[in-house]
Structure 1
Amino acid sequence: MADAVVTEPYPALAPAQLAARHGLRVAGARPGLVEYVRRLWDYRHFIVAFANARNIATFSSAKLGQLWHVLTPLTNAGVYFLIFGVILGTNKGIENFVGFLCAGIFIFGYTQQVVMAGTKAITDNMNLIRALQFPRASLPIAATITQLQQMLFAIAVLLGIVLVTGEPITLKWLTLIPLLLLQTLFNVGMAMLFARLGSKIMDLKQIVPFLLRTWLYASGVFFSLGKAIADAPHTVKVLLQLNPMVPFIELTREALLQDSGVPPESVTEMWLVAAGWAVVLGVGGFIYFWRGEKEYGRG
């Protein structure tokens, strides 16, 4: 009779050791930064499709549909012109106030809408987050792409406005392309920053409109910022000039208007400030959002 084979009992292992032996990972664990970027790239088609769907759904129930992408910025411009140009008279000393005002409204409005959409990017998609495994940064990025698509409509309207108000077509118009790219990078960072904050602070979406309104009034949208702060203390001037929206707005006006009020010697400095803010917020916002990846969907 053959001898029975004696086997050693399976050694008792801690759960972490057992998981490591069989290559198991914690569900929802945050991947490394490089791996996270790679996964985002793999999901690029999903991000674009999700953004397109949200864009189409925005005015799907309205009779005029996608025409509201043009009517909305025009209506905002008309209301602000009536209040600030006609009633409050902030148009004094500004040759083409209509073009000046519309440039400020449209450029600020792009960032404003991204921040508002980013704040709700996580909380409004909890069912999707809990049902599917994908990089959560896809949501604020998709929100930014949705607003970028709408901004392209607004830019077309803006170009038509400056032409109608007597501004010529110049090569400076081409600078709108890199400027819009920089602002989009800045907006992606803002969307991710507010997406993580919005997922942790449930009342943030109630507070954000007030913060944006204050930011709007401090960005020289309705008046010439240079003239307004001419006699202000040096500290106030520095703080207002470091406002990240100022270079985006002022450089847009400088590209479109013959008399934008922007000193030629400050144009290069504004480009550097715009690029600096785009890189700092774009990279910083992304890293801040990535560090909270495992938190999303646990509320």
Structure 2
Amino acid sequence: MSQVLDTPPPTQAPADDDLAALAARHGLTVSGARPSLSEYIGQLWARRHFITAFATAKLTAQYSEAKLGQIWQVMTPLLNAAVYYFIFGVLLGTSHGVKDYVPFLVTGVFIWTFTQSSIQVGTRAISGNLGLVRALHFPRAALPISFCLQQLQQLLFSMTALVVILLCFGIPVAASWLLAIPALILQFLFNAGMAMIMARMGAKTPDIAQLMPFILRTWMYVSGVMWSIGKLTKKDHLPHIVLVLLENNPAAVYIDLMRYALIDSFHSKQLPPHVWLVAAGWALAVGIGGFIYFWKAEEKYGRG
């Protein structure tokens, strides 16, 4: 009986609110907590050199084991263009009525590959680099952005072959080629936004990476890579909503802008209405929206 009477009452554990107040009083913060949006942007800017160096290193290592090395950066899209030319241009006859079809096709393949590859590598940006994410503290958006920058570097490297093809088919160098710069900037913003959206989704559900090739292949076929959307929109049998979707498809918009910039036979009449506004709208909406969407899950990456 005395032992029961002498037993001290159980101590009550401090409430979560008390612990939070105690931590705040001593300047303690949650490990890996999501910073504010402005702080997050500042952290990314402070690591801009890491982002560019990481992108360059990944690009250099991509074909390091191949005997032809970096030549594959040019050969891969060229071989794809050759296959598409044989199937669509020769067998299916989509080249009929399209001036400068080879430059038209090669430009479409190169620009589409930039978007396709950015989304594919973005989908695996977190799930494929969990060791790096769990070992080091840095803003996770640096990964999808650096992968998109890698794809932009690869596109710029491949553009040398595109210029040679344009000159060989009699396309003269013109001042309009300078329009390729803002077109690529807008496309990069769009691609980076898409990569960050897919990076968050891929981090939660890695199986999405297995589904993306089928989605991207379908997207490619409706983006006018191998055929002219302008010729299709002149037909009356398609519903108006389908024509609007085809014309404002972001992948098709950036492809058309690059064709307009580089190919002198591709005139402004072949562009959809307000094309630059559409391109800028897609870039800002997806770029900013994708960045915020990715940032909201910053503290969850690499956990679980």
Structure 2 length as normaliser, TM-score? 0.91
1:250 to 238, 256, 260: 256
- Match for residue 275 of structure 2? 270
The 8 Å contact of residues 107 and 248 in structure 1, kept in 2 or not, is answered as yes
1:267 Cα offset (Å): 6.6
Query: Partners in 1 of 2:124 and 2:194 — Cα distance?
Result: 12
Identity of aligned residues (%): 53
1:177 to 177, 181, 200: 181
1:162 Cα offset (Å): 1.0
* Unaligned segments of structure 1, at least 5 residues: 1-11
- Match for residue 280 of structure 1? 285
- Match for residue 218 of structure 2? 214
1:261 Cα offset (Å): 5.5
**1:103-142 paired onto structure 2 within 5 Å:** 103-142=107-146
- Match for residue 23 of structure 1? 27
- Match for residue 70 of structure 1? 74
The 8 Å contact of residues 116 and 208 in structure 1, kept in 2 or not, is answered as yes
- Match for residue 153 of structure 1? 157
The 8 Å contact of residues 247 and 274 in structure 1, kept in 2 or not, is answered as yes
Counterparts in 2 of 1:199 and 1:278: CA distance versus 1, 3 Å: same
AA aligned opposite 1:285: G
Query: Partners in 2 of 1:51 and 1:153 — Cα distance?
Result: 14
CA RMSD of aligned residues (A): 1.4
The 8 Å contact of residues 224 and 261 in structure 1, kept in 2 or not, is answered as no
The 8 Å contact of residues 119 and 194 in structure 2, kept in 1 or not, is answered as yes
The 8 Å contact of residues 248 and 272 in structure 2, kept in 1 or not, is answered as no
* Unaligned segments of structure 2, at least 5 residues: 1-13
Any idea what SS the aligned residue of 2:274 has?
A: helix
- Match for residue 190 of structure 1? 194
Question: For residues 207-249 of structure 1, what are the alpha-carbon distances to aligned partners after superposition, in whole Å with 9 as ceiling and x for unaligned?
Answer: 1111101110010111110111322211111111121112111
Structure 1 length as normaliser, TM-score? 0.93
The 8 Å contact of residues 251 and 267 in structure 1, kept in 2 or not, is answered as no
2:245 to 239, 243, 247: 239
Any idea what SS the aligned residue of 1:263 has?
A: helix
Structure 1: 4+ residue segments shifted above 4 A: none
Question: For residues 102-128 of structure 1, what are the alpha-carbon distances to aligned partners after superposition, in whole Å with 9 as ceiling and x for unaligned?
Answer: 111111110000000000000111011
1:228 to 214, 229, 232: 232
Deviates more, 1:229-238 or 1:84-93: 229-238
AA aligned opposite 1:238: V
Query: Partners in 2 of 1:267 and 1:190 — Cα distance?
Result: 22
The 8 Å contact of residues 176 and 252 in structure 1, kept in 2 or not, is answered as yes
- Match for residue 9 of structure 2? none
1:258 Cα offset (Å): 2.2
Question: For residues 187-224 of structure 1, what are the alpha-carbon distances to aligned partners after superposition, in whole Å with 9 as ceiling and x for unaligned?
Answer: 11011011001111121001111110111001011111
- Match for residue 95 of structure 2? 91
- Match for residue 10 of structure 2? none
The 8 Å contact of residues 126 and 202 in structure 2, kept in 1 or not, is answered as yes
1:72 Cα offset (Å): 1.2
Any idea what SS the aligned residue of 2:196 has?
A: helix
